[in-house]
Amino acid sequence: PQPKPRKPKGTPPCDPLDLTSRPRRNRRNGTFRAAFQETTLSPSNFILPVFIHEGETAAPINAMPGCYRVGWRHGLLDEVRKARDVGVNQVVLFPVVPNALKTPTADECYNPEGIVPRAIRLLKDTFPEIVIYTDVALDPYNSDGHDGIVNEAGEILNDETVYQLAKQAVMQADAGADVVSPSDMMDGRVGAIRNALDEAGHHNVSIMAYTAKYASAFYGPFREALDSNPRFGDKKTYQMNPGNFREALIEVESDEVEGADILMVKPAMPYLDVIRLLRDNTSLPVSAYQVSGEYSMIRAAAAAGMLDEKKAILESLLCIKRAGADLILTYFATEAAGYLVADAAKKPWS
Ligand code: PBG
């Protein structure tokens, strides 16, 4: 016989409350909790961002413990192999570009022999089923470190930038990208990219628009990784004000009309309300980017013994999905998918 749970000493005697509803009944064991769970995570929801460089050795990123700039040949293939072993079949590439190749007009961004197209071709040859996303923006290639072309007055030029972005997107599609992702926040870029892709015959290449991308402090570690800090000023004339909610709907409307296939919110955790806003106002898939600073916060707190790393990672991702994201870009993709695969093998009552 099972030992009865012992009544702790000092528990006061009490008549049961007269309650019709006791929500705890549905939480009383692991089987019920699993059966009634409204949102679940799957490795198929994740997109793994990978930082690639020309070197052959992996270079650690100080502000992102556990993340590396990897060589675009072996390093990239190793990262992707590890990801697909646990069911993550989507990656997005971010290039480290040597300063010598950076110019005010960022023309290296559409060089068909640049690091990104080379990496795409290699990846497609090696793992044809992997879905490849590319970042469309000038900042890694721009000597001013901005997502757009800067004039003498220090202004970020919209329309001139859009022409460059369209060339960049077509070049990436030529190399084999499945989804191009403009992260620059210029006006009209989705439509211009759609037209340029169609004219080049890339009707089946998708656009994931960074729809509501905020001017966020949480991108700091990423800019260290790519050495892409703006050389002056900030990005507030193109990225959105963190205080704004309604304004995201203006971006939704234009990205939809211009032909976006997926709409993104970025960052994710501080902007869960915006993810929900998009989910309730579009029928397109919604993605969310758990950015570098969100990653580093969890890593740092876990390394200091302040958080349970695995639980914090999985909860952060589950809640981003609950808020309404179908897809999550996260540096934890491979690690989180590994946890999910291992947990799926466990019994709910264990
Ligand atoms: C640049 C770009 C940024 C990120 C993705 N694309 C940085 C920025 O806008 O300054 C940030 C991603 C991250 O922080 O993880 N176009």
Q: Is the pLDDT of residue 19 over 90?
A: yes
Task: Give, in order, the Cα–Cα distances in Å from 177 to each of 40, 47, 208, 213, 220.
Answer: 29, 14, 12, 22, 27
Residue 228's pLDDT is what? 87
Q: Are 103 and 150 in contact (CB under 8 A)?
A: no
pLDDT tier at 124 (50, 70, 90 boundaries)?
very high
| 68 assigned to some structural domain | yes
Could you give the dihedral angle defined by the CA atoms of residues 197, 200, 205 and 211, in that order, rounded to the nearest 10 degrees? -10
ipTM greater than 0.85: yes
| 228 assigned to some structural domain | yes
Percent of all residues in the chain with a pLDDT value above 70, rounded to a whole number: 98
Q: How many residues does the chain have?
A: 350
HEC assignment per residue over 211-239: EEEECCHHHHHHHHHHCCCCCCCCCCCCC
| 30 assigned to some structural domain | no
Q: Is the pLDDT of residue 1 over 60?
A: no
Number of independent structural domains in the chain = 1
Residue 2's pLDDT is what? 65
Which residue's alpha carbon is at the smallest distance from atom 14 of ligand 1?
Answer: 219
SS3 of 85, please? helix
Q: Compute the mean pLDDT over every residue in the chain, rounded to the nearest whole number.
A: 96
Q: Are 349 and 29 in contact (CB under 8 A)?
A: yes
| 148 assigned to some structural domain | yes
Amino acid in the structure at residue 284: L
Q: Is the pLDDT of residue 215 over 60?
A: yes
Beta strands in the chain (DSSP E): 46-53, 59-60, 68-71, 90-95, 131-136, 149-150, 156-157, 179-182, 206-213, 262-266, 286-290, 327-330
Range 169-181 average pLDDT = 98
| 130 assigned to some structural domain | yes
Over the stretch 271-326, which tens digit does the pLDDT of each residue have?
999 999 999 999 999 999 999 999 999 999 999 999 999 999 999 999 999 999 99
- For a substitution probing ligand 1, which of 61, 146, 147 has the most ligand atoms within 8 Å of its CB? 147
pLDDT tier at 350 (50, 70, 90 boundaries)?
low
- For a substitution probing ligand 1, which of 133, 181, 183, 320 has the most ligand atoms within 8 Å of its CB? 183
Cα 343 to Cα 350: distance, rounded to the nearest angstrom: 10
| 325 assigned to some structural domain | no
Range 178-206 average pLDDT = 98
Phi, psi of 93 (to 5 degrees): -100, 135
Biggest CA-to-CA distance, the chain? 84
pLDDT tier at 260 (50, 70, 90 boundaries)?
very high
Q: Is the pLDDT of residue 164 over 70?
A: yes
Amino acid in the structure at residue 294: E
239-270 in b/e form (b: 16+ CB < 10 A) is bbebeeeeebeebbebbbebbbbbbbbbbbbe
| 16 assigned to some structural domain | no
Residues with CB under 6 A from ligand 1: 135, 137, 139, 147, 183-184, 219, 222-223, 235, 291-292
Q: Is the pLDDT of residue 57 over 60?
A: yes
pLDDT tier at 348 (50, 70, 90 boundaries)?
confident
pLDDT tier at 7 (50, 70, 90 boundaries)?
low
Looking up tokens 């905020």 gives 214
CATH number at residue 212: 3.20.20.70
Cα 251 to Cα 257: distance, rounded to the nearest angstrom: 10
**Structure token pair of residue 191:** 């439509």
| 124 assigned to some structural domain | yes
Host domain of residue 201: 40-262
